[in-house]
Structure 1
Amino acid sequence: MDYNELIDEETWAYIRRTNAAYPEDAVETSVADQRAVYTALCQTFRQPHPDGVETEDRNADGVPVRVYWAGNPTRTILFLHGGGFVVGNLDTHDDVCAELCAQTGYRVVAVDYRLSPEWAHPAAFDDCWCATQWAGRIWGDPMVLVGDSAGGTLAASVAHHARGRLGQILGQVLIYPALGGDMAQGSYLKHANAPLLSRDDMVYYMQVRHKGPVPVDDPTSEPLQDSDFSGLPPTVIFTADCDPLRDDGRAYRDRISAADGQVAWINEVGLVHGYLRARHSVARARDSFERISIAIEALGQEIWPYDD
């Protein structure tokens, strides 16, 4: 794979800056070191909050959350952060949440779910489902589920689980999610050594998350394991083209479409896993973040801005 042809210089500069702060062999260090380095990496790219955004840390029935608002929102974004189920917290994605709040006008509830290996699956899912129910009860507003990477996995798992249990979810926006695709084919092989996320990294994260084999027929672990894709809320999936996870988005799109659901898959050419942090330095990432914000706002207003 010739990434020099696929990836532009702005993105390469972002990749080099990321690798300087979070080396490719980070998964070989201790979990504590991984978390410290990842938090420092996110701090390197952190942006100030937009004017007018307020925040408050709260307790969602035992799950720590951070609430963002500007004015008097009538919609809630339930945001689940990435980090391979091993790293990440309320601070690592704080600026992303603040910007989504400012751009959409919606309240954002960011969830500090439990991490592996201290807490194996289904702890992270249980926390996300608990926080979703809490947000629905506290404000009573319609919600859009949003997550990046591992957070996209969890957002989709919540969407599947919520059917028949919680009627306030208007849509889900998944950003380069890991959904449980076949790791022996497609983008997992084509982009096995992609910049910033490799297939071997994914194998490591799955092993740590489950402390053993991945469960079977468990959509709270991997949404593509579900046998029923009907009744899901309108779904928009964003993937990075240079990412082993890319084809998970396409496979999920195809399953929902086959069940006559509303779904759009947007594959961002020339981008790599984790590009949200590049939204202020890479034009392609900035444009994608704008599309993500538009998707969230549209689903919150029950508008479908995509051609079927």
Structure 2
Amino acid sequence: MRDLTVPGPGVPVRLYGGERDDCVVVFLHGGGFVSGGLDSHDAHARMLCRDTGRSVLAVDYRLAPAHRFPAAYDDALAAVRWAADELADRVAVAGPSAGANLALGAALALAGTTAAPVAQLLVNPLVHGDPSYPSRSELADAYGLTSERLEWCTEQYLADPALRDDVRFAPLLSPDLGALPPTVLVVAGRDPLRDEGRELGRRLRVAGVPVDLSEEPGMPHGFWRFAELSDAAGSAVARMGALLRSRIDAAP
């Protein structure tokens, strides 16, 4: 494990060495754009490294409200570009919640370039932020993430409500979804973000993107952090890691 810095923007990153050096998985942590970092998501990165057999680059992107949109997006993009230039011929991206938002945003921005990810893992993704999805009211007070907390985090990240429709924040609205790589998409059944995750899966398939969609019916938002405490969460994490590994293995 090595702590490094992405030159230029000066983004702190942490590299976990994997069994194989043919691909680096760039990991963007969750935390609603307002919390989290290298230490809080150390176990997540280690599990990804173990389950994919690849090196993992965890990114300590800037947080709101001190650094509002698009600071986190810009840092994620810079880190993926740097990983592709300096660490491996191929990269994949992965993240939960807000991290999935940033991973997907980077994959869209880099599609068609030499830094384009060959696969992505999106777990309980925040990809739209529209409070009208049924799960936002049905599961408004769910364990792990409430709709009220989600709205608060969004307001901290976005300085202007009009930015809710900016595809860098709401990649679900992008007209270029068909350019994305094979996707492992995980949706938790007890998560207010459940329905926008389902909608992302539907739109990716319509766009012709290969999608492995797993729904974990009894799981809350943030179940990944319980992988070492709960057999059910641990099994879900192992499954998604294995699926990402198979997508990376199959990628050219």
Alignment of 1:243-262 (within 5 A): 243-262=191-210
CA contact 1:278–1:285 (8 Å) conserved in 2: yes
Q: Does 1:165 align with 2:113?
A: yes
SS at match of 2:58: strand
Residue of structure 2 equivalent to 1:137: 85
**Structure 2 spans left out of the alignment, 5+ residues:** none
Displacement of 1:71 in angstroms is: 4.5
Write the distance in 2 (CA, Å) between the matches of 1:235 and 1:203.
27
SS at match of 1:67: strand
Give the TM-score of the pair, scaled to structure 2.
0.94
Alignment of 1:23-42 (within 5 A): none
CA contact 2:80–2:115 (8 Å) conserved in 1: no
Q: Does 1:56 align with 2:2?
A: yes
CA contact 2:85–2:115 (8 Å) conserved in 1: no
Displacement of 1:297 in angstroms is: 0.8
SS at match of 2:177: coil
What letter matches 1:220 in structure 2? R
Matching residue within 72, 79, 82 for 2:30: 82
Residue of structure 1 equivalent to 2:180: 232
Displacement of 1:187 in angstroms is: 0.8
Give the TM-score of the pair, scaled to structure 1.
0.78
SS at match of 2:188: strand
SS at match of 2:119: strand
Q: Does 1:110 align with 2:110?
A: no
Write the distance in 2 (CA, Å) between the matches of 1:233 and 1:301.
13
Displacement of 1:280 in angstroms is: 1.5
What letter matches 2:3 in structure 1? D
What letter matches 1:186 in structure 2? P
Matching residue within 149, 173, 196 for 2:144: 196
- When residues 218 and 166 of structure 1 are mapped into structure 2, their CA distance, relative to the original with a 3 A threshold, is farther
Displacement of 1:236 in angstroms is: 1.3
Residue of structure 2 equivalent to 1:298: 246
- When residues 66 and 200 of structure 1 are mapped into structure 2, their CA distance, relative to the original with a 3 A threshold, is same
Bigger mean CA offset, 57-66 vs 209-218: 209-218
Displacement of 1:283 in angstroms is: 1.8
Residue of structure 2 equivalent to 1:277: 225
Deviations 1:29-70 (A, max 9, x none): xxxxxxxxxxxxxxxxxxxxxxxxxx0000112111000004
SS at match of 2:122: strand
Q: Does 1:242 align with 2:190?
A: yes
Displacement of 1:182 in angstroms is: 3.1
CA contact 2:28–2:94 (8 Å) conserved in 1: yes
Write the distance in 2 (CA, Å) between the matches of 1:72 and 1:172.
18
- When residues 101 and 71 of structure 1 are mapped into structure 2, their CA distance, relative to the original with a 3 A threshold, is same
Bigger mean CA offset, 282-291 vs 120-129: 282-291
Displacement of 1:281 in angstroms is: 1.7
Displacement of 1:216 in angstroms is: 5.1
Residue of structure 1 equivalent to 2:212: 264
What letter matches 1:255 in structure 2? R
Write the distance in 1 (CA, Å) between the matches of 2:232 and 2:2.
32
Over the aligned positions, Cα root-mean-square deviation in angstroms equals 1.5
Displacement of 1:73 in angstroms is: 2.2
CA contact 1:219–1:226 (8 Å) conserved in 2: yes
Displacement of 1:104 in angstroms is: 2.0
CA contact 1:121–1:210 (8 Å) conserved in 2: yes
**Structure 1 spans left out of the alignment, 5+ residues:** 1-54, 304-308
Write the distance in 2 (CA, Å) between the matches of 1:89 and 1:114.
9
Displacement of 1:181 in angstroms is: 4.8
Alignment of 1:11-26 (within 5 A): none
Write the distance in 1 (CA, Å) between the matches of 2:132 and 2:198.
16
CA contact 2:120–2:182 (8 Å) conserved in 1: yes
SS at match of 1:75: strand
SS at match of 1:74: strand
Query: After TM superposition, what 4+ stretches of structure 1 lie above 6 angstroms from structure 2?
Result: none
Deviations 1:180-215 (A, max 9, x none): 153113211111111121111111010000123141
Write the distance in 2 (CA, Å) between the matches of 1:97 and 1:138.
19
Residue of structure 2 equivalent to 1:73: 21
- When residues 214 and 110 of structure 1 are mapped into structure 2, their CA distance, relative to the original with a 3 A threshold, is farther
Matching residue within 127, 134, 137 for 1:179: 127
